[in-house]
Amino acid sequence: MKDTRPPFRALEDLDPFLLFQTIPTPSFILDRRALRTDGEILKEVQEKSGCRILLAQKAFSNYDLYPLLSEYLAGTEASGLYEARLGKEEMGEKEVHVFSGAYREEEFAELLSYADHIVFNSIHQLEKFGPIAKKKGKSVGLRINPEFSTQIGHDIYNPCAAGSRLGVTYDNFVQGMKEKDFSLLDGLHFHTLCQQNSDDLEKTFAVVEAKFGRYFSSLRWINFGGGHHITREDYDRERLIRLVKRVRKQYGLEVYLEPGEAVVLNAGYLLTKVLDTFDNGTTHIAILDTSAACHMPDVLEMPYRPPLYGADFETNSYPIRLGSQTCLSGDVIGDYRFAKPLQEGDKLLFGDMALYTTCKTNTFNGMPLPSIYVLNEDRSIDKIASFGYADFKVRLGRKKEEMKK
C-alpha cells in the first residue's frame, strides 16, 4: 500500500499519551497550533501571489475552528446547500463559493441566499439557473474538464478519468456554448489534482490554457480547484506563486484555489485503544475500538496507511495488523511494526486525522462516533462534541421524542 501522506508529525517534545491521558477512546483531537502553522503558510502564498484561498469544506467542516481559519483564508467552498449555509454562518464575512454536480430546483433560492459564487457542472444547468443567479448579483462560473490528468492510480478521485461526470469537455464547450451563455459567465473552474505538487498544476494549466485560453479575456476569475498540497514540506510554493502571478498579469484574472487537505494537514489525531490481540496462524492482529470504514474511510477509499505514533513499517521487531470491531472483513487500517507486542488496553495515536475524517464518519454496524476535542495553543484540551445512541438512531426513524442518550 502506497503511503501518500506525510509521516507522523511529533507533538513538539510532549508525550501524547500523557497529554491525552484523560481523553476517552476513540476520540479525534484537532490541534489549533498546527492549524495556525498551515494557515500562516497559506496566508503567505496569498500575499505573495495575489490569489485567494478557500477552505474546501468537504475535507474539514469542524466549524468551531472556522474563526481561527478565517484569519488566514478568503472564504469557503461548498458542495451544496448545507455546506454553503455552514460557511455563511460560521466563517463570518467571507466569500462562499459553491460547486455541485447538479442543483435542485427546490433548494436553489435558499442556496443563493448564502452563496457569492455559483459554479455549474453543465451547460444545461448554466442555462437553467445562471440567469436566476445573475439577477441575484451572484458571480457565475462553469466547471471545465481539461481531459488531462497527472494522477497515477486513485481513479475514484480523478475528475479527468474516462467517463467523468465532472466538468464540460472542450468539444462540448465549443459546440454547446451560445452567445447568451457567455454573457452569463464570470469564470471557469477546473479541478484535477489530488495531494499533488505545483509542477502537476503547472502541467494541467498548460492544457487548460491551450484549450480554453482564448476565452479568458471575457472572464473575471479562474478557479484552480483543490488537491494542492501547499502546506506539505516538499511542496514547491514558489512555482505556484509564479504561476498565479503570471495568470493574474497576463489575463487580468482573479485566481482562486480551494484546497481542503492543505488547510488542515497534520492538524489532527485519532486516539484509539486495543481491545484484543491474537494470531490467526499467518498474521498477528490487534482489534481496535476505531474503524477505517466508519471513522477514517479514506484509508479504504484511497487507499492509504495513516501515520501512527511510535510505529514504523520496516525496522521494528513486531509486525501486527490493525483492524476494527466491525463485521466488514476488509475493515483494516494497515500493517505496522512495533518495538514490542501490543497488549489489550494499549493506546495508539494516528496522525493527520483532521482531514476527511470527522466530516465523513458513519455508524455502520452501530459503531459509536468518536468524540471530538480541541488541543489549544496553550496545550489545554476542550471537548467540542460527543455522541451516543441517539446519534445512531436519529437518522434511521421518526421516534426522536422517544430517544434517550
CATH topology of domain 50-264: TIM Barrel (3.20.20)
Q: From residue 19, how far is each of 13, 23, 140 by CA, in Å? A: 11, 9, 48
Q: Chunk the chain into consecutive blocks of 10 residues (it has 405) and report each block's average pLDDT, rounded to whole numbers.
A: 56 85 97 97 98 98 98 98 98 96 98 98 98 98 95 79 92 96 97 94 97 97 97 97 98 98 97 97 95 97 91 81 97 94 96 96 97 96 97 85 55
Question: What distances in angstroms separate CA 366 from CA 133, 390, 395, one per listed residue?
Answer: 42, 11, 12
> Which H/E stretch holds residue 251?
helix 237-251
Alpha carbon 290 to its chain's center:
20
* CA atoms of 121 and 200, how far apart (whole Å): 23
CB 46 within 8 A of CB 230: no
Residue carrying C-alpha cell 473575471: 220
- In DSSP terms, 334 is beta-bridged to 322
Query: Which CATH code of 2.40.33.10, 1.10.287.610, 1.10.3720.10, 2.40.37.10 fits the domain covering 16-29+267-402?
Result: 2.40.37.10
Q: Which residues contact 307 (CB under 8 A, 6 or more apart)?
A: 3, 5, 6, 7, 8, 9, 350, 351, 352
Say how far apart CA 91 and CA 225 lie, in whole Å: 20
Check whether the bond before 303 is cis (ω within 30° of 0). Answer: yes
Q: Output the CA angle 139-67-57, nearest 5 degrees.
A: 50
CA atoms within 13 A on the CB side of 287: 12
* pLDDT at residue 1 in the model: 35
Domain ranges of the chain: 16-29+267-402, 50-264
Q: Which of 243, 242, 256, 271 is nearest to 357 (CA)?
A: 271
Q: Which of these, 151, 55, 106, 112, lies nearest to 359 by C-alpha position? A: 55
pLDDT of the residue at 77: 98
DSSP string of 370-387, one letter each residue? PEEEEE-TTS-EEEEE--
pLDDT at 156: 82
Q: Which of 310, 381, 292 is nearest to 349 (CA)?
A: 310
The whole-angstrom separation of Cα 215 and Cα 264 is 34
Least Cα distance to 189 among 151, 134, 146 occurs for 146
pLDDT of residue 400: 60
CB-CB contact of 300 with 292 (8 Å) = yes
Separation in Å, CA 373 to CA 27, 296, 299, 370: 7, 16, 21, 10
Q: Can you tell me whether residue 183 is helix, strand or coil?
A: helix
**Residue 318 and residue 340 in contact, taking contact as beta carbons nearer than 8 Å:** yes
DSSP bridge partners of 363: none
Q: Is 309 left (phi over 0), alpha (psi -120 to 50) or beta?
A: beta
| The three grid cell numbers given for residue 208, joined into one nine-digit string | 487548460
* Torsion 307-309-314-317 (CA) sign: negative
Residue whose C-alpha cell reads 498565479 in the numeric block: 244
Closest to 31 (Cα-Cα) out of 56, 10, 46? 10
Give one DSSP letter per residue of 276-310, joined into a string.
EEEE-SS-EEEEESS-HHHH-THHHHTT----BTT
Cell 497527472 -> residue: 150
